[in-house]
Amino acid sequence: MRTIILGSRPSKLACWQTEHILGLLKTAWPDLTYRVVTLLTEGDKILDRPLPEIGGKGVFTAELESALRTGEIDLAVHSLKDLPVENSPGLCLGAIGQRACAQDVLISPGGYGLSSLPQGARVGTSSLRREAQIRAARPDLTVLPLRGNVDTRIRKALQGEYDAILLAAAGIERLGLEKHASEYLPFHVMLPAPGQGALAVQCRADDTGLLDLLRPIHDPAVERAVTAERAFLAGLGGGCSAPVAAYAEARGSLLEIQGMVASTDGRRVIRVSALGDDPQTLGSQLARQALDQGAGDLLQ
């Protein structure tokens, strides 16, 4: 009988995500055996430099992808927003799970919301997308780099290194840390990264047996939404490090998508939206709409 080997990064959140998918698989296939292997990625090792400087989102996935290719592991669980829009050679997304809250949250030890933060307050984030939208909403704030896992980031805020930090709601809710959130930021202020809140299970593209086993944990409605969001990013030629955001949700049989491209300083923000039924086409159309409004200049 086959043993399914899951690969995970060592952070608490990565372990939670892997255990969550493991639980779903055990429910669907209780007779199989499972094992979890923990792998340290480049992003886990280099914590003193901003993400875009050390290679962007790929620094969290390269080691896991290599272990998939060599057969050391059979599947890897990722936050979908960390995966590049192009599938890595020989690998595919075998399942996309249910989506958690896609919003970003502000965590402020003083209990401030974004609009009530004092002038010049220090806000921590390593995301160019969050930085651009914060600067657009509050150009007076001081944005500082913030690295580390969720626990470390929250601790830095509580110890007074920052007046506020920005994190994904999904991560803090999965770890039971939502009590620290002082504000859930609405989408018109802070649009999320494409795929934010969704979990993706990556595996070898030719492992048909495993692809069959993943079918019961796949959520087609979430796949539709995130396909549109990622098509928007792909249509911009976007690496994950550009200040690009997108969120799609069902409107009856249709999908409504909002997209954003900004300059890093937040002085120029292009917001677009569209309604359609084919996710891939919808995301591509939205990207063309943004490019027609000058998004290409901002992506340089």
Q: Of 238, 252, 243, 253, nearest to 283 (Cα)?
A: 238
Q: Cα(148)–Cα(153) distance, rounded to whole angstroms?
A: 6
Which pLDDT belongs to residue 270? 97
CATH superfamily of 229-299: Porphobilinogen deaminase, C-terminal domain (3.30.160.40)
Q: Could you give the 3-state DSSP secondary structure of residue 160?
A: coil
Domain range 104-184, CATH architecture: 3-Layer(aba) Sandwich (3.40)
pLDDT digits (tens, 9 = 90+) for 158-172: 999 999 999 999 999
Identify whether the C-beta of residue 232 lies closer than 8 Å to the C-beta of residue 259: yes
Q: What is the CA radius of gyration of the chain?
A: 19
Which pLDDT belongs to residue 239? 59
Q: Cα(52)–Cα(251) distance, rounded to whole angstroms?
A: 35
> What mean pLDDT do residues 8-33 have?
96
More confident call, 54 vs 37: 37
Percentage of residues in the chain having pLDDT higher than 90: 84
The yes-or-no answer to whether 104-184 and 229-299 have a common fold is no
Q: Cα(108)–Cα(189) distance, rounded to whole angstroms?
A: 17
Q: Strand 142-144's sheet: what is its strand order?
A: 142-144, 122-124, 164-168, 104-107, 183-184
> What mean pLDDT do residues 253-274 have?
96
What is the band of 62 on the pLDDT scale with cuts at 50, 70, 90?
Answer: confident
Tell whether the model's pLDDT for residue 194 goes beyond 70.
yes
Tell whether the model's pLDDT for residue 152 goes beyond 90.
yes
Q: Cα(39)–Cα(42) distance, rounded to whole angstroms?
A: 10
Which pLDDT belongs to residue 57? 55
**Residue 235, Ramachandran bin (φ over 0: left; ψ between -120 and 50: alpha; else beta):** alpha
What CA–CA distances, in Å, run from 160 to 154, 165, 257?
10, 11, 37
Q: Could you give the 3-state DSSP secondary structure of residue 281?
A: helix
Q: What is the DSSP string of 98-138?
A: EE----EEEE-TT---TTTSPTT-EEE---HHHHHHHHHH-
pLDDT digits (tens, 9 = 90+) for 208-243: 999 999 999 999 999 999 999 999 999 998 654 579
Q: Cα(84)–Cα(81) distance, rounded to whole angstroms?
A: 8
pLDDT digits (tens, 9 = 90+) for 104-121: 999 999 999 999 999 999
Token pair for 272: 């677009």
Tell whether the model's pLDDT for residue 56 goes beyond 90.
no
Enumerate residues 6+ apart whose C-beta is below 8 A from 34: 3, 4, 5, 6, 22, 25, 26
Taken as a whole, the chain contains a residue count of 300
Q: How many CB atoms lie within 10 A of CB 32?
A: 13
Q: How many CB atoms lie within 10 A of CB 237?
A: 12
Class of domain 3-96+199-218: alpha beta
Enumerate residues 6+ apart whose C-beta is below 8 A from 246: 191, 192, 193, 194, 228, 229, 232, 233, 257, 258, 259, 260, 283, 286
Q: What is the separation of C-alpha 284 from the centre of its chain, rounded to a whole number of angstroms?
A: 20
Identify whether the C-beta of residue 148 lies closer than 8 Å to the C-beta of residue 43: no
* Domain residue limits, the chain: 3-96+199-218, 104-184, 229-299
Token pair for 23: 């639980």
State whether the Cα torsion 229-115-157-144 is positive or negative.
positive
Residues annotated catalytic, as ranges: 82
